Structure 1
Amino acid sequence: MAEHEWDHPDPFVTPFKVTDADIDDFGHVNNAVYVRWINDGAWAHSKSLGLDFDSYRRLDAGVVVVRHEIDYISSAMPGETALVATWVSSNDRRLRLSRRFQIRDEASGRTLARARTGFAIIKLSTGRACRMPQEFADGYPIMWPCD
């Protein structure tokens, strides 16, 4: 998919094939599946940046969701492949960062959903908020400053 077809330039894109288990009684992908795709797309991007869960354990810090906002635009259908694009849209380098997402159907290019997720940094050993490790401040670069 060409760069100009995304809402913002240079996304990190993860494909997800719609499975039978994703389809609800309405005959399209259930809304909860989009949340899973967003989560899995964000993790794939984090791993590509060198920030996997082993890194989180080593740093005793993690990035956890505090808020999801999703606008459902069109339904994903059986047999389609959804492309989940993500951008780090803000990083205060202290406590919070956020991502934007755009989900498109691979074949038609139509946008299925747009989302924004806010994250907070926690200390894994306590589960409490903590200051962002330098590796997160540097490792989650703002790709598209839109928050």
Structure 2
Amino acid sequence: MAWDVPRPYTETVLVGPEHLDAFGHTNNVVYLQWLERVAWSHSTALGLDWAAYQRLGAGCVARRHELDYLAATFAGQTLRLGTWIHENDGRLSMWRRYQIIRVDDGKTVLRGQTHWVCIDPASGRPKRQPAAFIEAYRAGRGAID
């Protein structure tokens, strides 16, 4: 597959009839749900699950999503979701990128990114990233060895 980076973190999804909109293709909200799912799975694989967020008193919330829908997908198609950390300022913000590829023809059907901000879960206020975040969420971080 022609990924935008050498080794993204990936998962596979099968488009089902429940994912379709009135036009008969995957609904844009479903893509966003899949991106959230692969981002959370990647974070968990990096050692930062909800329990770690609670222990560290820090977590990441989405500030902005940018999604470019490049081609439609339909029920029965298999998709590979890829994600990686694009940039981390080591203070409050990081940017995660995404790419979705249709397996049957290798076409990229979506590219996107999310701007994540570190907060204190108890107060909801911005909080400087703890050292564990800076290490786990370093730029270029994709597949886990």
Task: Tell me which interval the TM-score lies in, with the shorter structure as reference length.
Answer: over 0.9
Work out whether 1:143 is the aligned partner of 2:130.
no
SS in 1 for 2:22: coil
Determine helix, strand or coil for the equivalent of 1:83: strand
Shift of 1:16: 1.3
Q: Distance in 1 between matches of 2:139 and 2:13?
A: 24
Paired position in structure 1 for 2:70: 73
* CA root-mean-square deviation: 1.0
- For residues 87 and 136 of structure 1, the distance between their equivalents in structure 2, rounded to whole angstroms, comes to 14
1:107 aligns with 2:107: no
Partner of 1:93: 90
Q: Structure 2: which 5+ runs fail to align?
A: none
Alpha-carbon distance in structure 2 between the residues aligned to 1:72 and 1:114: 7
Identity percentage of aligned residues: 40
The one of 127, 134, 138 equivalent to 1:130 is 127
Report the count of equivalent residues.
Answer: 141
1:14 to 5, 11, 16: 11
Q: Which ranges in structure 1 are unaligned for 5 or more consecutive residues?
A: none
Give yes or no for the alignment of 1:25 onto 2:22: yes
- The letter for the 2-side match of 1:32 is V
Deviations 1:58-107 (A, max 9, x none): 11110110000000000111001111111100011110001111111112
Q: For 1:143 and 1:97, how far apart are their aligned partners in 2?
A: 11
Using structure 2 for the length normalisation, give the TM-score.
Answer: 0.94
Query: Which residue identity is paired with 1:127?
Result: G
- Distance (Å, rounded) in 1 between the aligned partners of 2:136 and 2:84: 13
TM-score (norm 1): 0.93
